[in-house]
Amino acid sequence: MSSTVVALTIIFAIVAAGSLIGFLAGSHHKMDLEQWIVGGRGFGLLLVWLLMAGEIYTTFTFLGASGWASSRGAPVLYIIGYTCLAYVVSFYFLPELWEAGRRYRLQTQGDFFQVRYHSKYLTAFVALLGMTCIIPYLQLQITGLGIIVEVASFGVIHRTPAMAISFAVVAGFVSTSGIRGVAWVSVLKDLVLFFAAVFVGVAVPYIYFGGIGPMFAAVARAKPSHLVMPGATTNLGHAWYVSTVLLCAFGFYMWPQFFGASFAAKSGDTLRRNAIVMPLYIITMPLMFFVGLAALLVLPGLANGDLSMLMIVRRTFPPWFLGVIGGAGALTAMVPAAILMLTAASLFAKNLCRPILAPGMTDEQVGKLAKITVLAITCAALASAIFSSTTLVGLLLLGYAGVAQFFPGVVLGLYSKRATTSGVFAGMLTGVLVAVFLIFTKHDPIMGLNAGFIALCFNFAVTGVVSLLTSTGESGFLPDLISSPALQPQDNREQE
Amino acid sequence: MEHRDDRTFRAKRPSPGAILLGLIPFAASCFSVPLWDRVYPMVLGLPFNFFWLISWLLLTPLCMWGAYWLETHRASELGRKDGGTP
């Protein structure tokens, strides 16, 4: 019982310290909706980058990656493949997106679709789809927090109350710290998690096997098929790997929170140089895989792979260390959850509520309604966390199948005059319907391919064909005078 | 050379050389998976597929640095002042 108390106390202390930092850093900037939406471009460059770079250190990395390495094996390699290639994709289009953002003062993903396609209904659909995709991502963070509390309490607190506690922690964190606060806590969690990852990733294989090489030799002897695709699965083979890597590499910057954050960069060139070095940040990811593979042999018969990181830490190290790791893990769930909630709020307020539902509402009313919406979204995430048994990686892939459907509209919108509103609308609807149909009828993967990727292909095809049929050859960007009449397009330096 | 008029914004397309350099990581760490998804030979104690992907985390920045070099040189030759050039 006392080890439970020690572990939980330390987790609580770390969470409290994180919340305090968030509160202190954010207290002189009141976090209302205006601060988040309008504060966007004025937000410090360093902090924006810490938020964006920190994305790869979330609960997904910490528990999900090690979990899949343990339960699925080699298919987990797709995570290295896609994160690296996502930065390659961003190298080409992100600076151009930033340029459009500067010209038309874009703040959210919905804004981009508004100035490019001039349809408030398409914009509202984009906002709605973005908010929907945020649900599984939030669910992932809540599930992760629940796992941490469950394992650290040595099973005293069961998963469902553990997730309810986590939900309260996240909600409290969001309401006490400003976005600047969140960014500073993000720095703390990156540091703690980086050292935790390196230490555990090196120490665990060393303690049980005498090193990383001997550990792989042992895995190769005991379960050779685990180390090549499809690993422990029957349907996650090479075709799945290629289709999933492509889906996620294209989908990565389509997440509303990253899409919006890229507008806050100092220049397009900053984004481009950042894209060059970003793959180096993924270097700690393989260490998570090592922990999961060690758990495969050390803890045979573990029912839920997502528990492998914490269970092996609990077995190997004293309770106070489990507390440190659990606390670090809790921060990696709280920070992304806060960012996701704020993104959902800004999409709702700016692109859905104001233009469609209630044009005459005051800022205060919109803000209030946005808060209620975010609460509803979070409750949906909590409810589905309680009732679903999807793995953490499975949840993220579900979100990717959704957000990747923005890709044709964004890329064709940037580079082609022929992409039309009806084309993009038809393509996006087709993509979403195909993805929903395949995933919810349990046809993912289908014929060895990721269902989201199939949906993306349909999306591209329909967008292309309908655009060509409806094209007048000259569709392009126009300043959005409906939702922000005060904002004219900025003068470009070229014009001078 | 594409023209950016002052009314509507149009994105610049990357040069073929820069795209080609970006396709190298795609070919190496995505499309060629049947060629490198194997345990042996182990390198530095890692199964070959793990070793291969980890090395591309280091090699991808090299490719993209090359693409960056091409893009900035092309931009300065065209005498551009706007985005994408330092």
**How far off is chain B from A412, nearest CA to CA, in Å?**
10
Could you give the count of Cα atoms lying within 13 Å of A310 in the half-sphere of its Cβ?
33
Nearest of A58, A28, A328, A55 to residue A179 by alpha carbon:
A28
Mean pLDDT of B3-17: 71
Contacts of A276 in chain B (CB under 8 A): 61, 64-65, 68
Q: Does A174 touch chain B (CB under 8 A)?
A: no
* A246–chain B Cβ distance below 8 A for any pair: yes
DSSP A449: B
Per-residue pLDDT of chain A (496 residues; tens, 9 = 90+): 578 888 888 888 888 888 787 777 666 655 555 555 544 444 545 556 666 666 667 788 888 889 989 988 899 999 999 999 999 999 999 999 988 888 887 878 888 998 888 888 999 999 999 988 988 888 888 888 888 888 888 878 888 888 888 777 777 777 666 566 677 777 777 788 888 888 999 999 999 999 999 999 999 999 888 898 888 888 888 999 999 999 999 999 999 888 877 877 777 888 888 888 888 878 888 999 999 999 999 988 887 888 898 999 989 999 888 888 888 888 888 888 888 887 888 788 778 877 887 777 777 777 777 778 888 888 888 888 888 777 777 788 888 999 999 999 999 988 888 889 899 999 999 999 999 898 888 887 888 888 999 999 999 999 999 988 887 777 777 776 544 434 434 433 333 3
Q: Is this model's pTM higher than 0.95 or not?
A: no
CB-based contact A91 B67, cutoff 8 Å: yes
Cβ density class A28-40: b for 16+ within 10 Å, e for less:
eeebbbebbbebb
The answer to whether residue A88 neighbours chain B at the CB level (below 8 Å) is yes
Q: Are the CB atoms for A150 and A13 separated by under 8 Å?
A: no
Q: Do A242 and B31 touch (CB under 8 A)?
A: yes
Q: Give the pLDDT confidence score for residue A56 in this predicted structure.
A: 66
Strand, coil or helix: A300: coil
Q: Which of B34, B37, B83 sits opposite A74 (nearest CB)?
A: B37
| β partners of residue A449 | A446
DSSP string across A305-320: GGGHHHHHHHHHS-HH
- In the numeric block, the tokens 């492998």 are attached to A308
Phi, psi of A65 (to 5 degrees): -65, -45
Could you tell me if A348 lies within 8 Å of chain B, comparing CB atoms? no
Partners of B57 on chain A (C-beta within 8 Å) are 80, 84, 279-280, 282-283
Chain B CB within 8 Å of residue A418 CB? no
Cβ distance B53 to A80 less than 8 Å, yes or no, reads yes
pLDDT confidence band for B4 (50 / 70 / 90): very low
DSSP string, A416-433: -S---HHHHHHHHHHHHH
pLDDT exceeds cutoff 50 at B67 = yes
- Half-sphere exposure of residue A222, counting CA atoms within 13 Å on the CB side? 14
User: Are A200 and B26 a contacting pair, CB within 8 Å?
Assistant: no
Comparing CB atoms, the residue among B9, B42, B68 nearest residue A477 is B9
**With contact defined as beta carbons under 8 Å apart, do A66 and A309 qualify?**
yes
Residue A447 sits at the vertex; the CA angle it makes with A446 and A448, to the nearest 5 degrees, is 85
CB contact under 8 A, A100 and B9: yes
Report whether pLDDT(B31) > 90. Answer: yes
Note the pLDDT of residue A488. 39
* Candidates B30, B47, B68; nearest CB to A220: B47
With a cut of 90, say whether residue B7 has pLDDT above it: no
Place of tokens 């069961």: A158
Q: Do B60 and A88 touch (CB under 8 A)?
A: yes
> Among residues A310, A327, A236, A319, which one has the least CA distance to residue A67?
A310
pLDDT at residue A373, rounded to an integer = 82
Contact state of A96 with B11 under an 8 Å Cβ cutoff = yes
CA distances from A225 to A222, A228, A232, B39 (A): 9, 6, 7, 9
Q: How many angstroms separate the CA atoms of A169 and A15, rounded?
A: 9
Q: What per-residue string of b and e applies to A406-438 under the rule 16 or more CB within 10 Å gives b?
A: bbbbbbbbbbbbbbbbbbbbbbbebbbebbeeb
The Cα–Cα gap between A70 and A72 comes to 6
Residues 6+ apart with CB under 8 A from B26: A85, A88
* The pLDDT of residue A489: 42
In whole angstroms, give the CA distance from residue A450 to residue A244.
6
Interchain proximity B11–A212, CB inside 8 Å:
no
Chain B contact for A276, CB < 8 A? yes
